[in-house]
Structure 1
Amino acid sequence: MPLHVAFLWHMHQPCYIDPASGVALLPWTRLHATLNYLHMAEVLWAYPKIQAVVNLVPSLTDQLRAYARGDLTDRLLLLATQDRWSGEEVNYLRSLCFHAPRRFIEQHPRYQELWAAPQQGDAWGEGDTRDLLVWFHLAWTDAGWLEREESLRRLIHKERGFSRGDLADLLNVQARMLSRVLPLYRALEERGQVELSTSPYYHPILPLLVNTTSAHEASPGLPLPRLPLRVVKDAAEQVRRAVVQHEEHFGRPPRGLWPSEGAVSQEALAGIAGQVKWIASDEAILA
């Protein structure tokens, strides 16, 4: 009898948005989209016989849509539009912009040179900061786009001495990439190749919302608050909001749900029942 295996790809980024400023404090939603999320969808589109389940978490899809509409920016993106940077801003950029695949840094002498500069005590100028911004964003761009886009090939060949216009060209390409992510996943599902699932809206651990004492089922003796928390309706509302949001993005409600961290309990299942057709969890959790 054949074994049927479903691959579930879980894509999750937390909400990085500062509620006071409306600016994302960290750029990882944007950068994972240009390096990974779009690439995954394009590979699937190129191989229509390959099927998959892709779990897109509400906090991720809300931010992707906001970026695509131009309604969201992040601290790094704002700094990238400046002509000059304060010492504090340069230190921030130098602490952030080497969070890139090490092999990519090593493949490009200018990026490697910038990486080594602090250790060697080299002087650092405005041109170095802009070069660092360009190389960091190139590192977080899908290799296929680096090969196809003439403007990106030109930047890699130029290597150093980038202008403000060079950086703007790169960010414009990334903006185009961001705008394609959600529509392409929707098209994959409409083609019948991919099933899109969701997770509870704010990514809570559902069993703990339903009853904090459920933690003792997995970890007997675990210290817990003296007064147990039981917000059963809130747990069900987390699922309801996720289903509504998913339908807004993709035109149909999800059939499946990946509970945050795969956490389930009998009580939590009662709040999920009737809202989706299936859930998935982890073998160790279910044991």
Structure 2
Amino acid sequence: MTVLSTEQTRIRITHRTRRWHDREVTVADAMDFWSFAAGAANVVMQLSWPEVGHGVAESTVVSGSLMHHPWKRARTTFSYLAVAIMGTDADRLAYRTAVDGAHRQVRSTPQSPVRYSAFDRDLQMWVAACLYVGLEDTYQLLRGELTPAQAEMFYQSGATLGTTLQVQQDQWPATRAEFDDYWNAACERVAMDETVRGYLDDLLGLRMVTGALRPGSVPLLRFLTTGFLAPVFREALGVTWTDRRQRQFERLFLVVAFANRFLPRFIRQGGSYLLLTDIRRRVQRGKRLI
């Protein structure tokens, strides 16, 4: 089997902002609110493994459904990132327990075209890897290219994206270079059928929100989503991307990155800290976390 190359599995950026600094960095530094512009693209990436795609598309857990409760689902996802990246071990344990309760209901049925379980560690590793790649991509768009030493430290700090759930520490590739090998090989499994494409088309068409928000939002969402997808995912989703659109995408984030430099941290990352505070308050009061 021929393993895909990084040119096929990662986004290509020709022009990016200059590097902020040469100090040590972690994935927590990637939690600027602009990073969530890549959120829908990350959903596409995660669902491009058939088992994950059908697990989400076929899920009967309405309370956590993106199509039925989009704002709640967004809060749950962003809260998970805040807990996994910025939280304590106690925060992670509490959130893991809550997520496990929902995941117990996500299993394939005899009618499912693929077998899956939300407790499958390999599937969770794939999802965590997608989250990591999204954070690394957005960090480098907003704050400049990582040096090799920074890239290694950034990567090592990202293991909690998976280990907060069922991924074992030894599943997380030991080095950044080994992660590239894992990622390129894992992308060989990217494939979407009409069920998953239809689900994602509904997502990118914002069919779960009021029609009044769609006219201006849908074109922007599709542009950002396609821009944040590597070629292998664009091909699976059936979308095209031109050099002209790539230039527009890079210019947009040069402007965004410039503005981001002048924002204090409490504005850039304040939303994540508010979500983390909300989780801790819910734990103290015995309320549902998801």
TM range (shorter): under 0.3
Greater RCO (Cα-Cα under 8 Å, separation 6 or more): 2
Normalised by the length of structure 2, the TM-score is 0.25
The structure whose residues are more often strand, as a share, is: 1
Normalised by the length of structure 1, the TM-score is 0.25
Based on CA coordinates, which of the two structures has the bigger radius of gyration? 1
The structure whose residues are more often helix, as a share, is: 2
